[in-house]
Copies of this chain bind each other. A is one copy, B any other.
Amino acid sequence: MRLSRSFLPTLKETPSEAQIVSHRLMLRAGLIRQTASGIYAWLPAGLRVLRNIAQIVREEQDAVGAQEVLMPTLQSADLWKRSGRYDAYGPEMLRIRDRHERDLLYGPTNEEMITDLFGQGVKSYKELPQVLYHIQWKFRDEVRPRFGVMRGREFLMKDAYSFDVSYEAAVDSYRRMMLAYLRTFQRLGVRAVPMVADTGPIGGDLSHEFLILAPTGESGVFYDGELETLDWLGEPVDVADRVSLDKFFSNVTSYYAATDEKHDEDAWDQVPGDRRREGRGIEVGHIFYFGTKYTKAMDISVAGPEGEAIYPEMGSYGIGVSRLAGAIIEASHDEAGIIWPDSVAPFKAVIINLKVGDATCDALCETLYAAAPEQFLYDDRTDRAGAKFADADLMGHPWQLIVGPRGAKEQKVELKRRATGERFELPADEALARVISR
């Protein structure tokens, strides 16, 4: 994309309404704009980030056998009356009445709808397990929306739902999803630690939240320092094998990690003193086993081997896709701006032309740009170099290809790595190979 022709409106001043760094940087870098309280439009660079995140989430869901569907944003109130949640849900649910005076709602989650769809499509225990997910906009009418996309009202979420024939099989599904989540966050370039979460009346230990450690997080967290460096994904896992899944799960959950809500002083005392860490975290995912709560309430069963009715055991699994855009910035930025992980960055690199109008500079920049126009942002504006450097650092492109008249004569560029500040003077083709190979 050529910056001179792009809709990438960066801001020099810090917007006063933004209280936390990710919100400030997303506004300043031209990623989002607020259109109503807690509701945002994603501008071209922001949408690229959002789509990169969603695509990684999708690939890792698919890799453990989940199937993607797309449920609508609006739901019938009748569906929620079948589970009993319509009256139970608080004012966070946005209730709507259509022109025929029928009650609708903007879905905050989809347990009822997916259970109903499952029931229409699956009739026999032989078709289990089924894991269905979608990536769709949700709405929760927060009293005080804040922190930009971190706590917006309209937000993009991946929610998956598993249906299994037995408790044991449901545990397998749960563990596969734990694996998918750890892989997802690793690919997103963030460390999200699974922490035991509340299971409510269902009990058991099958509820985990995934928190990115960051000082601006909304939850206090207590965890074993080993978790800062541990490689959960070092050993291959056979997702079709219960023993392999069990080993993986035991390994991941053997270190202490809990939010303040679930903090257990006795267990904490068992953690060696020099490994105890207290901090704050941002919740970006939640996995939860809840058994037959919805299948029984909505009377959705499949036929078992003897023709008997089996109520499938369910779990649900969420990832805050739009929230992650903010959370990744909270975990990865500096004074100058965003530091995008390569996998999430809207552009792999920015090409900075230090002297637009100089034939040699222009020609070299065009050559570089032509190598991967979808992946590069070309700063072809006539602005002064300082402004271009500041915008490049602010927007957080992983690489900067800096082209000045002196280097250009020798077909050389300066390559800067945003994350480390390292600079290399390289022949243009070598610099290109380095950037594109990532």
A278 within 8 A of B: no
* B122 in contact with A9 (CB, 8 Å): yes
* A74 in contact with B43 (CB, 8 Å): no
A225 within 8 A of B: no
* A5 in contact with B65 (CB, 8 Å): yes
CA distance A4 to B127 in the complex (A): 7
Chain B residues with CB under 8 A of A106 = 74, 96
Closest residue on chain B to residue A382 by CB atoms: B126
Q: Count of chain A residues with Cβ under 8 Å from any Cβ of B?
A: 57
CA distance A207 to B76 in the complex (A): 37
Instruction: Give me the interface of A with B, judged by CB distance under 8 Å.
Output: 1, 4-7, 9, 30, 33, 35-37, 39-44, 46-47, 50, 65, 67-76, 79, 91-92, 94, 96, 98-99, 102, 104, 106, 113, 116-118, 120-122, 127, 130, 132, 137, 139, 141, 143, 153-154
Question: Could you jot down 21 A-B contacts, CB within 8 Å?
Answer: A7-B67, A7-B122, A30-B121, A33-B121, A35-B71, A35-B72, A35-B76, A35-B113, A40-B72, A41-B113, A41-B117, A43-B117, A44-B67, A46-B70, A47-B68, A47-B69, A47-B70, A74-B106, A74-B153, A94-B99, A96-B96
Beyond A43-B69, A73-B137, list 14 extra A-B contacts (CB 8 Å): A6-B67, A7-B69, A7-B130, A9-B120, A33-B117, A36-B72, A39-B72, A42-B69, A43-B117, A47-B69, A72-B137, A72-B154, A73-B73, A74-B106
